[in-house]
Amino acid sequence: MSAPTDKNTAAEAPKVSNFLRQIIENDLEKGTYATRRWAGSPGDAAHQAAGQPDPAKIRTRFPPEPNGYLHVGHAKSICLNFGLARDYGGVCHMRFDDTNPEKEDTEYVNSILDAVQWLGFSWDSTFNGQTEHHLYQASDYFDFMYRAAEYLIEAGHAYVDEQTAEEMRANRGDFGKPGVDSPFRTRSPAENLARFREMRDGLHEDGAMVLRAKIDMASPNINMRDPAIYRIRRATHHNTGDKWCIYPMYTYAHPIEDALEQITHSICTLEFEDQRPFYDWLLDRLCEGGLLEQPHPRQYEFARLNLTYVITSKRKLAQLVYDQKVSGWDDPRMPTIVGLRRRGYTPEAIQLFAERIGVTKSDSWIDYSTLEGCLREDLENKAHRGMAVLDPVKLVLTNWGEVFGSDAYLEDCIQPALPHSALAEGQTPPPERVFKIGREVWIEREDFEEVPPKGYKRLFPGNIVRLKGGYVIECTGVGAKDANGRVTEVHAKVIADTKSGTPGADRVKAKAAITWVGVADGVQAEVRLYDRLFKDAQPDAGGKDFLESLNPDSLKVVTAYVEPSLAAARPDEKFQFERFGYFVADRQDHGVGGKAVFNRVTGLKDSWGK
């Protein structure tokens, strides 16, 4: 038996151990799944042809319901499941849990596949030079699920219940009170089978009856009190169309999907912990009946991701979209994977985040700054630097013509695009950026004060500062004001022979260096300054209406000037705007109609504590 070569990056030694890694390592050591003689999972075509079933050491799966766009919480689950398979020579299956016909859509299916691939993972593996696709959908197994249900009925493990929904709810009992057996619980297998087939054949109304597992109405675990496993629902399914008018319940379908695909470690979030006894009960019964074989998959639970200032519920995210509180699923303020991507997050940063937050069994909140920190760490050595002026006011160097012979004279400034520390070893030539200094430049409005507050070091009459990467200048005062008394032009004098990188650079001492963009070669850009979407750290905690917590200032759009190297960005290219933080050229709008459009991803420092 040989392990598949997974397309996900080569196996690496695990960085930080956790309880799941320990379980897997223990299973690998004991050979828990090594002795299986099964036919392999449906996608193992090349292995089956070669007579080598069950190739993977471990199999995990990522099983979203295609009823919305994936969010940062799903990203944790994706990194975990695909990451474990990668690290232990296994395979991770991509599976759509499409047991709920009304809510699902192919738009969502495509967006989910896209998100997983963008995050850097693949459900393909190769064997004997052939690719095996581990892409599945629950609805492919509806026939098997139906057969398994008939088996459970025949073996006396399931019955058709015709109580009303209210009766069923009342008879289920609660934590302190055992349930009451349904009057239909003692029907014979033959009667139940006939009734179940009538359900399948459309002879009964939606909701008229359900198939229930027959376990124990007095169980302390309410999930074991004869859970429903099939219901009647006349709905067109995006995969099976109108073939079925009965659909399996998620809790019944999921263990079967795992078993048919030979999943070894079925990893899910903590809310499914109470479902685990049913998971095992069901698979044990089907193994007894010879429909499946031991050892069957096992379910393990971990704590879901809760991120401050963020909502991780597909339903609530959908509401933000449909109520037009945001521009769409990919609005850069959305915690969806498409939103994070458009905001400027990288797959590497998200993978780093998933690694850093770890996996535990107790619920907690992760601070949003942890995610931003991972992005800064990833972009620090990748994102080219550049200057942008976000709140521009014009600065005129009034003696420019005298010093350089002509008011129209322009001079190149050459600066590194990456700081020396960010260069890969031997990276030559280091990337550079070129921009022009001339008589007029744009500066930041806050970098000039007519009457400076105490300690102010930037431009005020008489003060000497450096235009970063250019010349040292001496401020002479206000050049012009508008009718409201707002400064529209600042005046200064350039000091000859002080350019950065020349022997004269240190000749005159400057109190500060300010960022700027040349009027001659600066390019106007729309810059979208995004902030947190919610004002509260836990916007939907304690039954609060999360819409009331929306931050009215989560987007501010400004007209800025950027240096030419930024304006030349490809859509999706990330930069560090000096002094302001990380920005990305918007992947939808940048370059459309010749317009430059940037999104702020995050500032340079953590500002969430404030």
**147 labelled catalytic:** no
Q: Which is nearer to ligand ATP, 137 or 192 (CB)?
A: 137
- What residue is closest to ligand ATP based on CB? 73
CB of 107 to ligand ATP, least distance (A): 15
Write down the catalytic residue from 187, 212, 276, 314: 314
**Which one from 65, 355, 440, 578 is the annotated catalytic residue?**
65
Instruction: Give Rg (Cα) of the chain.
Output: 31
Nearest alpha carbon to residue 229 among 265, 186, 281, 273: 281
Give me the least distance between CB of 43 and ligand ATP, in Å please: 19
Provide the token pair at 196. 């179940």
Report how far residue 147's alpha carbon sits from residue 134's, in angstroms, rounded to the nearest whole number.
24
Is-contact 481 445, C-beta < 8 A? no
CB-count exposure of residue 605 (10 Å: 0-12, 13-18, 19+): exposed
Q: How far is the CB of 253 from ligand ATP (least distance, A)?
A: 12
Number of residues that bind ligand ATP (CB under 6 A): 14
From 63-71, 209-217, 430-438, 553-561, span contacting ligand ATP (CB under 6 A)? 63-71
Cα-based angle 405, 478, 452 (whole degrees, multiple of 5): 120
Residue in 40, 43, 64, 83 binding ligand ATP, rule: CB under 6 A: 64
End-to-end CA distance of the chain: 57
Task: Choose one: 16-24, 69-77, 227-235, 238-246; the region binding ligand ATP (CB under 6 A).
Answer: 69-77
- 65 catalytically annotated: yes
DSSP 358-375: ---SS--EE-HHHHHHHH
Distance CA 237, CA 241 (A): 5
* Burial tier of 89 (Cβ tally within 10 Å: 0-12, 13-18, 19+): middle
Among 269, 319, 327, 538, binds ligand ATP (CB under 6 A): 269
As a whole number of angstroms, the distance between CA 99 and CA 139 comes to 7
Tell me how far apart the alpha carbons of residues 311 and 534 are, in angstroms, rounded to a whole number.
Answer: 9
Nearer to ligand ATP, 64 or 90 (CB): 64
Q: Quick count: other Cβ atoms within 10 Å of Cβ 432?
A: 12
In whole angstroms, how close is the CB of 271 to ligand ATP at the nearest point?
Answer: 8
SS3 for 596? strand
Q: Nearer to ligand ATP by C-beta: 57 or 76? A: 76
Q: Which is nearer to ligand ATP, 32 or 306 (CB)?
A: 306
Residue 361 annotated in active site: no
- Say if residues 210 and 162 touch (Cβ distance below 8 Å): no
Strand arrangement, sheet containing 210-213: 158-161, 210-213, 228-232, 246-248
Q: Which one, 337 or 473, has the nearer CB to ligand ATP?
A: 337
**111 vs 576 by CB, closer to ligand ATP:** 111
Q: In angstroms, what is the minimal distance from the CB of 114 to ligand ATP?
A: 15
Q: In terms of CB distance, is 94 or 199 closer to ligand ATP?
A: 94
Question: Minimum distance from CB of 76 to ligand ATP (Å)?
Answer: 4
> Least Å distance between CB 313 and ligand ATP?
5
Length of the chain: 610
Tell which positions 303-362 bind ligand ATP, by CB under 6 A.
304-305, 312-314
Among 4, 40, 55, 73, binds ligand ATP (CB under 6 A): 73
For ligand ATP, what does the binding mask look like between residues 20 and 49, x meaning CB under 6 A? ------------------------------
Q: Does 63 bind ligand ATP (CB under 6 A)?
A: yes
- The C-alpha angle 502, 506, 512, rounded to 5 degrees, equals 110
- CB nearer ligand ATP, residue 348 or residue 540: 540
To the nearest whole angstrom, how small is the minimum distance from the Cβ of residue 273 to ligand ATP?
Answer: 12
- Residue 415 neighbours by CB distance under 10 Å: 19
SS3 content of the chain, % helix, strand, coil (to 5): 30, 25, 45
Q: Please state the closest distance from residue 267 (CB atom) to ligand ATP, in A.
A: 7
Looking at 36, 233, 304, 457, which residue is catalytic? Answer: 304
Q: Which helix (H) or strand (E) holds 517?
A: strand 516-518
Query: CA-to-CA distance for 543 and 268, rounded, in angstroms?
Result: 24
Give Cα separations from 569 to 227, 464, 524, 594 (angstroms): 56, 33, 13, 12
Candidates 47, 57, 59, 76; binder of ligand ATP (CB under 6 A) is 76
Site string for ligand ATP, 133-162 (x = CB under 6 A): ------------------------------
Say what angle helices 142-154 and 189-200 make with each other, to 10 degrees: 160
The token pair that represents 394 in the structure block: 């014009």
Which residues between 189 and 248 bind ligand ATP (CB under 6 A)?
Answer: none
Give the footprint of ligand ATP on this chain (CB under 6 A).
63-65, 73-74, 76-77, 268-269, 304-305, 312-314
Residues classed as catalytic? 65, 304, 314
